């Protein structure tokens, strides 16, 4: 009797390309950081041209990456992964929990979309916050000012995450509610993480600029701002969660526009190579301009998530 041959195992499926960095990327994780100090002072050239050479990009541009970026944490029930959707897709909402990494042309296109879009009608509380930032750090956009903004940016997500845990403690027997709260909780954790990358990256850029900043304005005052903002956001959330969501939507909209304008004001960023210790975790970008465009796009995702919460209201 002839023995039955064992079936041969199928060859492994080819790795799926991710949306993200452009071809020819340098191995950023191995390049010494800090070799290109630069200034964020405004230039006479003003706003940078945003139409890429070679014509307008097509919608849904996807670019092969040469460096594998670890995928972000994602809940088991997650919506389709970001790389399955084109940038700027207007169907199912792209959430902060899935902040997509865009290619260079998509980043330019989305920056222009931000510059063309009107800002939200900011609430009095948000306007007071932005005025305070301008008084303390000046109206001019600088990397150091963005670093301060990123210090406080995580706070609402921390408040919402804690509130979700407390709600789960009380209502975990309600399976439907528990599922919705858990999904929100995971999103809030991911938003915090995303903001944390922004903070670490802006701190890295400030350090690379070689400028020294005052301890009082850039260490002590941001701590005081963060404590004040924490209590304000917490109070708004306790009184009415929608007030807290609105404040954050305003904050994120402001950040999205500020990053877009900051890049437009600094054409020299277009040729300034970006080297980062966080490239393998956050994503690698050829230039500082593209990095800041990506951060600005993240802020738009955060804004849209807060606007979604605003429409949903209190979790029930």
Q: Applying CB under 5 A, which part among 57-65, 71-79, 163-171, 296-304 lies near Fe ion?
A: 296-304
Q: Which two tokens stand for residue 152?
A: 């406080």
Q: Which two tokens stand for residue 244?
A: 């807290």
- Residue of the chain from 153, 155, 206, 249 that contacts Fe ion (CB under 5 A): 153
307 binds Fe ion (CB under 5 A): no
We find the least distance from the C-beta atom of residue 28 to Fe ion, in angstroms, to be 20
What does the DSSP assignment read for 76-98? TT--S-GGGS-TT--SSPPPGGG
- Residue of the chain from 108, 120, 154, 198 that contacts Fe ion (CB under 5 A): 198
Residues 6+ apart with CB under 8 A from 170: none
We find the least distance from the C-beta atom of residue 36 to Fe ion, in angstroms, to be 23
- Residue of the chain from 299, 300, 307, 309 that contacts Fe ion (CB under 5 A): 299
302 binds Fe ion (CB under 5 A): yes
> What 8-state DSSP symbol labels residue 226?
H
Q: Applying CB under 5 A, which part among 5-13, 101-109, 229-237, 293-301 lies near Fe ion?
A: 293-301
Q: Looking only at residues 245 through 264 of this chain, which bind Fe ion when binding is defined by CB under 5 A?
A: 252
* Number of other residues whose CB lies within 10 A of the CB of residue 6: 6
x-or-dash string of contact with Fe ion, 88-127, rule CB under 5 A: ----------------------------------------
Report the b/e string of 243-256 with b at 16+ CB within 10 A.
bbbbbbbbbbbbbb
Pick from 196, 184, 210, 214: which is nearest to 282 by CA? 196
The CA distance from 313 to 237, in Å, is 11
Q: Applying CB under 5 A, which part among 21-29, 198-206, 211-219, 272-280 lies near Fe ion?
A: 198-206
Residues that bind Fe ion (CB under 5 A): 150, 153, 195, 198, 252, 299, 302
């Amino acid at each position: 009797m002839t023995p039955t041959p064992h079936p041969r195992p199928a060859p492994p499926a080819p790795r799926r390309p991710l949306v993200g960095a452009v071809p020819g990327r340098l191995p950023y994780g191995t390049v010494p950081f800090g070799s290109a100090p630069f200034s964020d002072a405004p230039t006479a050239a003003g706003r940078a041209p945003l139409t890429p050479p070679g014509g307008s990009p097509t919608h849904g541009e996807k670019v092969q990456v040469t460096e594998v970026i670890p995928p972000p944490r994602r809940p088991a029930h997650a919506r389709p992964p970001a790389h399955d959707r084109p940038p700027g897709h207007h169907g199912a909402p792209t959430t902060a929990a899935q902040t997509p990494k865009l290619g260079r042309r998509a980043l330019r296109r989305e920056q222009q979309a931000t510059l063309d879009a009107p800002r939200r009608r900011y609430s009095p509380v948000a306007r007071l916050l932005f005025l305070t930032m301008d008084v303390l750090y000046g109206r001019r956009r600088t990397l150091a000012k963005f670093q301060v903004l990123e210090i406080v940016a995580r706070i609402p997500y921390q408040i919402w995450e804690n509130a979700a845990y407390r709600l789960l403690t009380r209502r975990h027997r309600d399976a439907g509610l528990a599922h919705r709260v858990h999904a929100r909780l995971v999103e809030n954790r991911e938003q915090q993480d995303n903001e944390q990358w922004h903070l670490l990256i802006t701190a890295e850029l400030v350090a690379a600029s070689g400028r020294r900043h005052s301890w009082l304005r850039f260490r002590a005052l941001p701590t005081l701002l963060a404590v004040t903002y924490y209590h304000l956001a917490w109070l708004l959330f306790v009184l009415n969660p929608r007030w807290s969501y609105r404040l954050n939507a305003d904050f994120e909209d402001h950040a999205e526009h500020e990053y877009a304008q900051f890049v437009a004001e600094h054409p020299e960023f277009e040729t300034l190579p970006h080297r980062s210790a966080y490239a393998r975790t956050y994503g690698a970008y050829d230039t500082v301009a593209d990095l800041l465009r990506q951060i600005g796009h993240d802020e738009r995702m955060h804004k849209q998530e807060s606007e979604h919460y605003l429409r949903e209201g209190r979790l029930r």
